Amino acid sequence: MVSFQRTQVATLCERLTEPPSRIIALFGPRQTGKTTVVRQALRQINSKSRYFAVDEPDPSTPRVPFDTAEATFPVLQQRDTAWLVRNWEESRFEAEQSGGFVLVLDEIQKIPNWSETVKGLWDADRARGCPLHVVILGSAPLLMQRGMSESLAGRYESIRVTHWSFDEMSSAFDFDLVRYLYFGGYPGAAPLVRDQDRWRSYIIGSLIEPNIERDILAMQRVDKPALLKQLFELSAAYSGQILSYTKMLGQLHDAGNTTTLARYLDLLSNAGLITGLPKYAVSASSRRASSPKLNVLNTALMTAEAGYTFEEAQADRTFWGRLVESAVGAHLFNSATDNIRLHYWRDGSQEVDFVLQRGTHTIAIEVKSGLNTKSMRGMAEFVQRFSPSRSLLVGEDGVPLDEFLSVPAPYWFEEV
């Protein structure tokens, strides 16, 4: 693992060796290695740098005690825009003195009004030709993107850091396909797989709960936080299946209405947890009105919530089949570029697992785990009705699953 580097490291190194023309923004789900990517890149370039984690204590910040009889320990003051300005100006000075410098701000979205402050500081640097590179990171992609689009339009370039693929987990941790399907793509959890109870506790306590409670509830207005958690649990249980919002309402306590559920599902998707894929349809209104196909974005979220051991999961043919399908859906979603859309298709009893769309080209994908006897009638009907650019069978009698999970979604458009 020490020598393994994701492709984003090389990309970041290239950006940091160019004259600073845009802020570099790395965003993606919690525990996908954004900080590691930055630290590895900083070790490979010649420029000096400063790294600040906004959510960690600042030893230079004065400590303020609680004013209560019960509390005797100090509390660190929250970092704010004044802290941001001070450290930016110090880095600006270093850059002008040495001819180049890199300022890294991790979890920057936790500073109130950060984007407006960064805009003013960045514009001032450009006006004076300051050779300061600025890298910002965040594990709340929706909030980061909102701040950047509102205040930093045209001033940043993003580098997307997604969940780890099978190819990456295999190279870094020697995962075989079966272990990747069950244990998923969280690098921090990989050393714990020999102790399944410890691994499950880590996934739930260190990844799922902080992702919901810190990255969503603390950053977004959520009127029903208990409902958000219930929706995550329900979606993980139904990953790989189409579930209407009406049926969700029937299984959730105090669910409100379908609009609330749709919004909460979007929040879970933007946090890198679970997404609801829309139905493929020519009409945009039909897509919006469709029931979502639920899909975890990392299979560890599905297996940890299910409570199955590694051996029990493989023994349950239905569960393992849905796990395989969920792994394919997660891989397609995580590896798709901005111009690729991921859907499913169903009409009555006819269904296609996934449909990739890029411009006028579509690719129909059916997953066969080897543990089921899926009919291909849905694929035949889709081909006859929509004439896709190509159709793929993944798994038995088709593209081997390990090969399919080793190439990104854009690969399948190369020959269409």
pLDDT band for 216, please (50, 70, 90 cuts): confident
Which residues are CB-neighbours of 150 under 8 A, at least 6 positions away? 115
With a cut of 70, say whether residue 371 has pLDDT above it.
no
3-class SS at 147?
Answer: helix
Calculate what percentage of the chain has a pLDDT beyond 70: 90
Residues 173-187, mean pLDDT to the nearest whole number: 97
Q: Say what the pLDDT of residue 282 is.
A: 78
**What is the spatial distance between Cα 281 and Cα 292, in angstroms, rounded to a whole number?**
13
Q: Is 1 within the bounds of a domain?
A: no
Q: Say what the pLDDT of residue 73 is.
A: 42
3-class SS at 163?
Answer: coil
In Å, how far are 269, 329, 346, 383, 413 from 380, measured between CA atoms? 31, 20, 12, 5, 20
Q: Is 121 within the bounds of a domain?
A: yes
Do 178 and 156 lie in one domain? The reply is: no
Do 51 and 198 lie in one domain? The reply is: no
CB distance 167 to 159 below 8 Å: no
Calculate what percentage of the chain has a pLDDT beyond 90: 73
- Of 146, 110, 121, 97, the closest CA to residue 266 belongs to 146
pLDDT band for 39, please (50, 70, 90 cuts): very high
The total of other beta-carbon atoms located within 10 Å of residue 282's CB is 7
Best-predicted range by mean pLDDT (108-117, 195-204, 278-287, 368-377): 195-204
pTM of this structure = 0.89
Of 129, 160, 191, which one is at a domain's C-terminal end? 160
Which residues are CB-neighbours of 332 under 8 A, at least 6 positions away? 342, 354, 356, 365, 409
The total of other beta-carbon atoms located within 10 Å of residue 262's CB is 14
- Of 304, 288, 301, the closest CA to residue 198 belongs to 304
Q: Is 2 within the bounds of a domain?
A: no
**What is the spatial distance between Cα 354 and Cα 199, in angstroms, rounded to a whole number?**
30
Higher-scoring residue by pLDDT: 76, 371: 371
**Burial of 88 (C-beta count, 10 Å sphere; 0-12/13-18/19+):** buried
Supply the CATH number for residue 106's domain. Answer: 3.40.50.300
| Among 74-88, 312-326, 382-396, the least confident range | 74-88
**Tens digit of each residue's pLDDT (9 = 90 or more) over 236-249:** 999 999 999 999 99
| Among 53-67, 211-225, 300-314, the least confident range | 53-67
- Rg value, the chain, Cα: 23
Of 130, 145, 160, which one is at a domain's C-terminal end? 160
Do 358 and 335 lie in one domain? The reply is: yes
Residues 310-316, mean pLDDT to the nearest whole number: 96
Do 173 and 42 lie in one domain? The reply is: no
With a cut of 70, say whether residue 2 has pLDDT above it.
no
Do 190 and 294 lie in one domain? The reply is: yes
pLDDT band for 391, please (50, 70, 90 cuts): very high
The total of other beta-carbon atoms located within 10 Å of residue 158's CB is 18
In Å, how far are 183, 185, 192, 299 from 195, measured between CA atoms? 12, 17, 6, 18
Do 276 and 154 lie in one domain? The reply is: no
Half-sphere exposure of 207 (CA within 13 A, CB side): 30
Q: Is 83 within the bounds of a domain?
A: yes
Of 160, 177, 210, which one is at a domain's C-terminal end? 160
- Whole-angstrom distance between the N-terminal and C-terminal Cα of the chain? 37
Residues 342-346, mean pLDDT to the nearest whole number: 97
Q: Say what the pLDDT of residue 214 is.
A: 79
Do 139 and 38 lie in one domain? The reply is: yes
| Among 144-153, 190-199, 355-364, the least confident range | 144-153
Domain encompassing residue 73 = 7-160
Do 109 and 228 lie in one domain? The reply is: no
Instruction: Indicate the number of domains in the chain.
Output: 2
Q: Is 355 within the bounds of a domain?
A: yes
Q: Say what the pLDDT of residue 379 is.
A: 95
Which residues are CB-neighbours of 212 under 8 A, at least 6 positions away? 228, 229, 232, 271, 273
Q: Is 290 within the bounds of a domain?
A: yes
3-state helix, strand, coil in the chain (%, to 5): 50, 20, 35
Q: Say what the pLDDT of residue 140 is.
A: 61
| Unique residue bearing structure tokens 């499913």 | 344
Do 76 and 152 lie in one domain? The reply is: yes
Higher-scoring residue by pLDDT: 370, 231: 231
Q: Say what the pLDDT of residue 141 is.
A: 59
CB distance 236 to 305 below 8 Å: yes
In Å, how far are 33, 115, 286 from 336, measured between CA atoms? 19, 27, 23
Q: Is 265 within the bounds of a domain?
A: yes
Which residues are CB-neighbours of 381 under 8 A, at least 6 positions away? 347, 350
| Among 137-146, 290-299, 349-358, the least confident range | 137-146
**Tens digit of each residue's pLDDT (9 = 90 or more) over 53-76:** 987 765 554 444 444 444 444 444
**Burial of 46 (C-beta count, 10 Å sphere; 0-12/13-18/19+):** exposed
Do 369 and 302 lie in one domain? The reply is: yes
| Among 134-138, 148-152, 341-345, the least confident range | 148-152
Q: Is 189 within the bounds of a domain?
A: yes
Higher-scoring residue by pLDDT: 26, 60: 26
With a cut of 70, say whether residue 207 has pLDDT above it.
yes
Do 377 and 402 lie in one domain? The reply is: yes
Do 198 and 332 lie in one domain? The reply is: yes
Residues 149-168, mean pLDDT to the nearest whole number: 90
